[in-house]
Structures are given as C-alpha cells and as structure tokens.
C-alpha cells in the first residue's frame, strides 16, 4: 500500500499578487508606487489569496482590483464602503481592503465612509488623496485647497477643504494613519499596521497626480524639504524632526509649539507620542497648516490613533446566535405569509 506525498506549497511572493493585466495609469502616477507596496506586503500577512478581497469605487485609484491577483470588485461611485460592509458582515473571515480616493470616498461616498468607521467593521480603507479629480480630468475635489484654480473653478475654489484625518477621528474611527506614495518603507509599515488592527482602519495616502495636480505634496516628499516639513510619529517616542534632528514639538498647554533642541530644550521636554491618547490625536489631526504660511507646523505621518472596540460583524454574530437560541430556527415562508392567510379556490 502506497501513500501519496503532498508537496508543501511554495511561499507566495509579490509577483504572485500581480495580474496579467496592463497597468493603465498615467506614467509617473503615484498609484504605481502604492500598488507596488501593497503587493510587496501581502505575502507576509499570512492570508491566502482566496481570502483577500479588494473593493473599489470610481476614480483612478479604483482600477486597483484589476491589478491584484486576489478576489475583487470595481463597484460604483462612492459605494465601495457599503459593498465591503455587506461582504464583511456575511464573510467575516475575509481580509477586505477598500481602495478609494478623495473624490470617491469624501464626496459622493462621504456618508458611507463615516458610517463604516463608526460601525467599526474590520476592514482596511486606503484613501488615495491627490487633492484633485484625476479620472474626470482635473476638477477640484473635497480636499483641494481654497482658491484652487481648475477647469471647474476658473476663478479659484471657494470651498473649505476637508481634513480627512480629522473627519475620520470625528467619526470615531478606531485606527487612523497617514503615509505617502514616495516613502515606500513607511507606506509598507502603515499597510501592515492597518491589517493588524482589529476594526476599521483608515489610512490616508498622499498620492501625486502628475497630470492635473503635480507637486501638491512636494514639500513633504522632496529631499530638500521633507525633513523640515514632516514629523513621523512613533509610539513612545518624542516628536523630533528637522534635517539634523534639531527640532521638536512640545505642548504649551494644548498648543503644539516648535522648539530648537540643544539649548533651552532637550528631547525630555517634548511631546511623547501615545497612539491611545484620543485627545492628543485630535491635536495631531489639526497640524494641517498651509506650508506657505510663515511659522507653520510640520505635517504628521504615522499612526495617529488606535483603540480597541468591538467590531460590527462580531456584535451582529452575537445577536444572531442569541436570537437563534431564544426563538429557534426561522421559517421564511411563515414570515412572508404573516399572521393571516387566505386560500382561493379556483
């Protein structure tokens, strides 16, 4: 009697998560980098490809499911969050990723986004923010700065822009973080942290649209300015930044203040980052100054806030189990018929 030997399954690589579809974004688009980082981290998550689902809405970023060798759905404008919620509710074992943009997720889909966050489904939102409508050829978006001149605002936008991180925290998101397309190492770390969080993770990714809004975030991405214009927050560490790590942020009451290190102040005087501090997270979200204004604060990147709260699908499953124990199996035909029925003789 012979026994069959089953060869061990080879470990997956980033290439296993790439499809045979031609990637069709404009040359130089930041989406290429984001796609690359997602494909890079996926093998290390320990989740089978058949248990990963990418759901997108409408926009340049929403081509994402075509390029990921997993299950996926290119849905409709602003409704990726709603579709992903239904999927997670019925198949809680799946790893669900939502790909959306500042237009798709904060304009027509804004209401769906805030309700997913407050419900705390265990899904991962990647919001690609390029501060413009790219797919429809350059109209201003909910995150475009005031006085933005575009095809739809030839005299400059009079809208006040959304602050995505403040919006997410206001919706009681249990995980909010920010990264950028031009920092692959940091983006990979934030993607891993998003996946590891049990609950709704909201990851804002600054993404350059080199056709309709080129250089929108260059102050934060270019070598000549990045170190002075950004502060990367890490759990338990002081908020230090600057080309030579010569600057820091301390709190004057509840007001963040930039100080020079080495003289009156040292790292022991600085704000120590605590991801569980909801009130300080609100201050971080409001470090959103226009870099053109003298005396502006650096822009924070990293995990701003993380909290533990029961997920929607877990609570729903508890209710279903409780209802079954109390009332027994349901009868759909009886439910549809109601309390009174009539028999019509032909």
DSSP string across 29-73: -THHHHHHHHHHHGGGGT--GGGEEEEE-SSGGGGHHHHBSSEEE
pLDDT band at 5 (very low <50, low <70, confident <90, very high): low
Residue (of 236, 231, 233, 235) closest to 246 by Cα position: 231
Q: What angle (nearest 5°) sits at the alpha carbon of residue 101, between those of residues 18 and 114?
A: 120
Q: Which residues pair with 141 in a beta bridge?
A: none
Q: What is the pLDDT averaged over residues 255-260? A: 97
Residues 221/206, Cβ–Cβ less than 8 Å: yes
Collapsing DSSP to helix, strand or coil, 287 comes out as coil
Range 263-279 burial, b when 16+ CB lie within 10 A, else e: eeeeeeebbbbebeeee
For 147: left if phi > 0, alpha if psi spans -120 to 50, otherwise beta; the answer is left
DSSP E strand stretches across 195-237 = 201-206, 230-232
Tokens 């005087």 -> residue: 269
* Of the candidates 91, 71, 98, 81, the residue with the CA atom closest to the CA atom of residue 17: 71
Degrees, nearest 5: CA angle 113-115-119 = 120
pLDDT at 342 over 80: no
pTM assigned to the model: 0.93
DSSP per-residue letters across 147-180: T---SS-TT---PPPP-HHHHHHHTT-SEEEEEE
Q: What is the pLDDT of residue 336?
A: 85
Beta carbons within 8 Å of 22's beta carbon, 6+ residues apart:
none
CA distance 249 to 232: 12
pLDDT class for 54, splitting at 50, 70, 90? very high
Question: DSSP class of residue 341?
Answer: -
Q: Which three-class secondary structure state does DSSP give residue 296?
A: coil
Long-range residue pairs from 217-224, CB within 8 A, at least 24 positions apart, any chain: 217/180, 219/291, 219/299, 220/180, 220/299, 220/301, 221/180, 221/181, 221/182, 221/183
pLDDT of residue 9: 65
pLDDT, position 340: 78
Per-residue pLDDT tens over the stretch 115-161:
999 999 999 999 999 999 999 989 999 999 999 999 999 999 999 99
Would you state the pLDDT for residue 341?
A: 74
Token pair for 299: 């822009």
Percent of the chain clearing pLDDT 70 (strictly above): 97
Q: What is the pLDDT of residues 262-310, one digit of tens each?
A: 989 999 999 999 999 999 999 999 999 999 899 999 999 999 999 999 9
* pLDDT confidence tier of residue 4, bands split at 50, 70 and 90: low
pLDDT tops 60 at residue 254: yes
């Amino acid at each position: 009697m012979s026994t069959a030997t089953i060869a061990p399954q080879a470990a997956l690589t980033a290439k296993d998560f790439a499809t045979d579809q031609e990637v069709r974004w404009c040359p130089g688009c930041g989406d290429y980098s984001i796609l690359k980082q997602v494909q890079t981290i996926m093998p290390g998550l320990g989740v089978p490809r058949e248990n990963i689902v990418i759901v997108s809405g409408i926009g340049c970023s929403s081509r994402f499911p075509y390029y990921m060798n997993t299950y996926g759905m290119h849905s409709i404008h602003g409704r990726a969050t709603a579709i992903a919620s239904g999927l997670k509710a019925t198949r809680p074992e799946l790893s669900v990723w939502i790909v959306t943009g500042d237009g798709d997720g904060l304009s027509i889909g804004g209401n769906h986004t805030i309700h997913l966050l407050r419900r705390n489904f265990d899904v991962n939102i990647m919001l690609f923010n390029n501060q413009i409508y790219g797919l429809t050829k350059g109209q201003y978006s909910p995150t475009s700065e005031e006085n933005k001149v575009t095809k739809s605002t030839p005299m400059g936008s009079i809208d006040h822009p959304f602050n995505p991180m403040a919006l997410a925290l206001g919706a009681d998101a249990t995980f909010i973080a920010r990264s950028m397309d031009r920092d692959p190492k940091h983006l990979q770390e934030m993607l891993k942290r998003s996946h590891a969080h049990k609950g709704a993770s909201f990851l804002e990714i600054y993404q350059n649209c080199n056709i309709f809004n080129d250089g929108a975030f260059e102050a934060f991405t270019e070598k000549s300015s990045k170190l002075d214009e950004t502060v990367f927050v890490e759990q338990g560490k002081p908020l230090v930044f600057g080309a030579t790590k010569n600057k820091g942020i301390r709190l004057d009451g509840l007001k963040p203040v930039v100080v020079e290190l080495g003289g009156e102040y040292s790292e022991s005087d600085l704000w120590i980052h605590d991801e569980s501090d909801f009130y300080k997270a609100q201050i971080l979200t409001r470090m959103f100054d226009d870099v053109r204004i003298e005396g502006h604060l650096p822009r924070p990147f990293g995990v701003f806030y993380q909290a533990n709260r029961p997920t929607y699908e877990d609570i729903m499953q508890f209710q279903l189990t409780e209802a079954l124990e109390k009332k027994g199996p349901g009868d759909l035909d009886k439910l549809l018929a109601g309390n009174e029925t009539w028999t019509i003789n032909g």
